[in-house]
Amino acid sequence: MTALQGGTPASPLPQAEAALPPGWRLLCRDEVDGTNATLVRWAEGRGAPFDGAPAEGVVLVADQQTAGRGRQGRDWHSPPGNLYVSVLLDGAAGPARLAEVGFVAGVALAEAVAALMPAAAPALKWPNDLLLDGRKVAGLLLETALGTDGGPWLVLGLGVNLAWAPPRGPEMAFPPGRLADAGPAPGRDALLAALVPRLAVWLAVWRHQGFAPIRAAWLERAHGLGGPIEARLGTGKRHGVFADIDPDGALVLDTETGRERLLAADIHFPDRDP
């Protein structure tokens, strides 16, 4: 198979395989254009890169990506050595609620890193970045797809810098970093084995109890809460204090003219900009 079809099988990840929740499935590939893009195509019936039908809990890991993407279509540099993984999930909750899965995944990833690196203090940057020692070490990307039967799917992608980090770009609020910068770092297998069960648990909490417990857990690790921020939007900039996230995940900004609710923005911190 070609990379665009879903890559060729790569070395297995036995710890991650053993840690999979019941019914979940791990696919390891050497190279794909993007783990998210590959699962989206599969969910939409555009090719059949894997055996069987698309199902919740399919976890796709690639050694490297040739066209990895982050938020807003930005390139995600993806050489070998880091973790590039996407998970196929049921999208029946609907667009308004599916954005909450980014917070679910952030909490699960922060917990996994903290468990494997006890001396580290991972923090979460709204809406979807993981920070460690003031550096961005991971990002999340959510994409939706419609199956051939019209059923909705959600693809959750995560990129975690384990051994390599790109140079800082002008749009980055924090310099990129690696888990290895903060001490002995886990390998892909160990990190995925710690992440996937936590993701499944927090997804179950979200589905049965709603967003409130996810919001509370996310806020416990929120970077910059209570401090000044600059929110960069397509229409300009907003300055104020990061006061909260509201019950549907929007950022709550206290400004000189009152409280604002932001659904999307690039968040920068005055003491961190280049």
User: pLDDT for 196-228, tens place per residue?
Assistant: 999 999 999 999 999 999 999 999 999 999 999
Give yes or no for residue 188 having a pLDDT over 90: yes
Degrees, nearest 5: CA angle 134-140-145: 170
Domain boundaries for CATH 2.30.30.100 within the chain? 228-268
Q: Which pair of structure tokens corresponds to residue 177?
A: 């970093």
Domain boundaries for CATH 3.30.930.10 within the chain? 3-220
Mention every residue, 6+ apart, whose C-beta is less than 8 A from residue 206.
100, 101, 104, 213, 214
Place of tokens 């699962």: 39
To the question of pTM greater than 0.85 for the whole model, the response is yes
Which top CATH class is 3-220?
A: alpha beta
- Among candidates 265, 274, 215, 211, which has minimal Cα distance to 240? 265
Q: Where are the alpha helices (DSSP H) in 139-241?
A: 188-209, 212-220
pLDDT tens-place string over residues 107-120: 999 999 999 999 99
Q: Which pair of structure tokens corresponds to residue 198?
A: 């936590």
Fold of the CATH domain 228-268: SH3 type barrels. (2.30.30)
Place of tokens 């599916």: 98
What's the pLDDT at 231?
95
- Among candidates 4, 27, 6, 75, which has minimal Cα distance to 196? 27
Instruction: Give 141's pLDDT tier (boundaries 50, 70, 90).
Output: very high
